[in-house]
Chains A and B, each alone.
Chain A
Amino acid sequence: MRLFIKLAVRNLFRNKRRTFIAGSAIGIGLAALIFTDALIIGMEQNMIASATESYMGEGQIHHHDFRASYAVEETVNNLPDVISRLENEDMIENFTRRTMTFAMITSPANLSAVSMVGIDPATEKKLSQIDEAIIEGNYFDGNNKRDIIIGNKLAEILEVDLGDRVVMTVAQAHSGDLSQEMFRISGIYHFNIKAMDRAMAFIRLPQSQQMLGVGDNVHEIVMKFKDGGNGRDRSLPLWERYSTDGNEAVSWTMLLPELDAAFEMSQFATYIVGLILFGVVSLGIINTLFMSLHERMFEFGVLRAVGTRPYGMARLILFEAGALAVLSIVIGAILGYIITYITTQIGIDYTGIEFSGVTFRELLYPVMTIKQFVEYPILVFLFTILVGLYPAIYAARLSPAQAMRRSF
């Protein structure tokens, strides 16, 4: 057995250039796989962070009809109970309350339809990045109940600046009567996310509750977990526990279904492309193994003549395929590591680009994982051996007389 391995390795190096060239082909395939996987993971993390950390949070609770209707009356049921339970919830790191309605915002120059959100600045700060996105003014410093924060795009559309007055008009709960209030721009933010910069306006929670006539109720509770993975887990019992009493608790994956689906599609597409790519690579492997086989035809005849079994011949070729695989894996892993590492240092600029409802806010960095350097190489190894079966079976079927005649 050990002799066969020795034989295989030494045979491979008889023609160093050819072996190296073939190894490079496989290696490049592996490197491409590693890099693509790292990139996709990086993209996923980047986009999830962009969505959840900027505003959406990792989970939300609403009245079960609210997401479909946005009706003012549909506030979270049993709010005090929900809140006290959340406060005692181990997994939850932070949560905050919001009201959300359609509103009309008018300035002397223009008017626009927006989402008016009432927030509790202190708790909101821990969940969303509005405070960090402020470029002018402040994030609800002081106590002025007429403070309002809007996005820079909206400010441009309304042609307003810090200190200017705007009027918000909303419909009140139950009566449908219109309620109008005047506010002063106290802060302007820039998220580089179109929807946020253009169509949202934030005021203090008590003000919005008063305007809407909803008492102490809110429309939305936003949560953040201590362990980020929980947000992704749709089977978490927590969702069920809070989906009672006419409420609905959902993870961000339900709120951004397109994103989730897009990732699955990417994974799937990568597999397909990888498969076809390695299909092309396999042709090279077969070619290489056969060429080396043909060079040694007479030798193979001798080996068979002196009593090597057909199975032994096949094993020899398979070991050679294996040795080639090992060499290629090393080349591929090193190459993959270098390319991925360099990209982690410089990043890819996709900022501002929107994909499946989420906008990139930071540079895209690939993420290296153990899986890439363990699972993929193993797959490549098995793949090479599998491909080696073709020449191996051919070698096993050689009759000694044929082999020795063929060479002269």
Chain B
Amino acid sequence: MARINNDDVIVTKAIKKIYRDNGIPVPALSGIDLTIKNGEFTAIVGPSGSGKTTFLNIISGLDNPTEGEVWLAGKLLSSMSGSELSDFRRDHIGFIFQAYNLIPVLTVEENVEYIMLLQGIDKIERHRRVEKILGELGLEGFAHRLPTKLSGGQQQRVAVARAMVAKPSLILADEPTANLDSKTGAELLGMMRELNEKSGITFVFSTHDRQIMERARRLVTLKDGLIDSDETRS
């Protein structure tokens, strides 16, 4: 909803994250400084265990860093309470997970409009936006279907629709194509690229899908909890 007029969507300073696995400390992130600007289409890559998912969780406020600070859309995440973070995520971030994005007992329409309900948007406006986004993503007529009756690719598209429809500042996608075959994955990626160019919403991926890495305009590689490389292409 609210687009802060600050060009830096994400700013992280010296992010460290250490997990305790039965008393044994496991360092997941060992000092990340990263800035992501408005409108980027960026992929965070790295082998399993390099900390990609952890990093995504931290910059979205789903998890706290052991050390370091995160600013999202200009606000310091550590300064917000649990409820404030909830509301903040609601208003500023769209999430797309690898699988199980949707509530299985809600229809496509109900799933997509969920966040707008949390935001208190009225019925007519909700309906209008849902229709619009479903159209843009090639899901006309799917409004009343249950997720169990959708293919993997369709489910992910609905996830995209839900992520977009509340007009967030940023969309975080954690391995969105991992469960799809390459053709469907490519289609999905294409749609997201289009949305990024048309609406200017920032996309940040965590992935080791080659197709995403090729289409991303910026590639940040993590290794052993630190940034290994940071390439920007045009």
Contact A7 B103 (CB under 8 A): yes
Q: A7–B105 contact, CB under 8 A?
A: yes
A302 near B106: Cβ-Cβ < 8 Å: no
Nearest-Cβ distance from residue A394 to partner chain B, whole angstroms: 15
Are A309 and B106 closer than 8 Å at their CB atoms? no
Find out whether the CB atom of B82 lies under 8 angstroms from the CB atom of A299. no
Q: How far is the CB of A322 from chain B (nearest CB, A)?
A: 16
Of A7, A304, A401, the most chain B CB neighbours within 10 A belong to: A401
The reply to whether the CB of B223 lies closer than 8 angstroms to some CB of chain A is no
| Interface membership of chain A positions 366-405, coded 1 if the CB is closer than 8 angstroms to chain B and 0 otherwise | 0000000000000000000000000000000001110010
- Complex Cα distance, B83 from A3, in Å, reads 20
With A11-B105, A399-B62 given, is the CB distance from A307 to B89 under 8 Å? yes
Residues of B within 8 A of A10 (CB): 105-106
- Nearest neighbor of B63 in chain A, beta-carbon distance: A401
Separation of A306 and B115 alpha carbons in the complex (Å)? 7
Mask: chain A, 295-326; 1 = CB below 8 Å from B; 0 = not: 00011001111111111100000000000000
Cβ-defined contact, A312 with B118, below 8 A: yes
A14 interface residue per 8 A CB criterion: yes
Contact size range, B: 20 to 34
Do B117 and A306 touch (CB < 8 A)?
no
Looking at B82, B86, B87, B103, the one whose CB has the most chain A CB atoms below 10 A away is B86
**Can you add 4 more A-B contacts, CB < 8 Å, to A3-B106, A306-B89, A309-B83?**
A6-B106, A306-B115, A307-B88, A400-B62
**Complex A-B: 24 CB contacts under 8 Å:** A3-B110, A3-B114, A6-B106, A7-B103, A10-B105, A10-B106, A14-B105, A302-B95, A302-B97, A302-B101, A302-B103, A303-B103, A304-B62, A305-B60, A306-B94, A306-B114, A307-B88, A309-B83, A310-B86, A400-B57, A400-B62, A401-B57, A401-B63, A404-B62
Say how far A303's CB is from chain B's closest CB, in angstroms. 7
In the complex, are the beta carbons of A399 and B63 less than 8 A apart?
yes
In the complex, what's the smallest C-beta–C-beta distance from A51 to chain B, in angstroms? 59
A10-B105, A401-B57 are known contacts. Are A307 and B62 too (CB-CB below 8 A)? no
Q: Tally the A-B contacts, defined by beta carbons under 8 Å.
A: 69
Contacts of B89 in A (CB 8 A): 305-307
Residues on B lying within 8 angstroms of A by beta carbon are 57, 60, 62-63, 82-83, 86-91, 93-95, 97, 100-101, 103-106, 110, 114-115, 117-118, 162
Q: Which residues of B contact A310 (CB under 8 A)?
A: 82-83, 86
Instruction: Give chain A's interface secondary structure class.
Output: helix
Residue among B82, B83, B95, B110 making CB contact with A305, cutoff 8 Å? B95
B86 contact set on A, CB distance < 8 A: 304, 307-310
A237 to chain B, nearest CB (A): 60
Question: Would B100 and A299 count as touching, CB distance under 8 A?
Answer: yes
**Nearest-neighbor residue (CB-CB) of B58 within chain A:** A401
For the complex, give the distance between the alpha carbons of A304 and B86 in Å.
7
Closest A residue by C-beta to B88: A307
**What CA separation (Å) do A234 and B106 show in the bound complex?**
60
A12: nearest residue on chain B (CB-CB)? B105
- A310–B91 Cα distance when bound, in Å, is 16
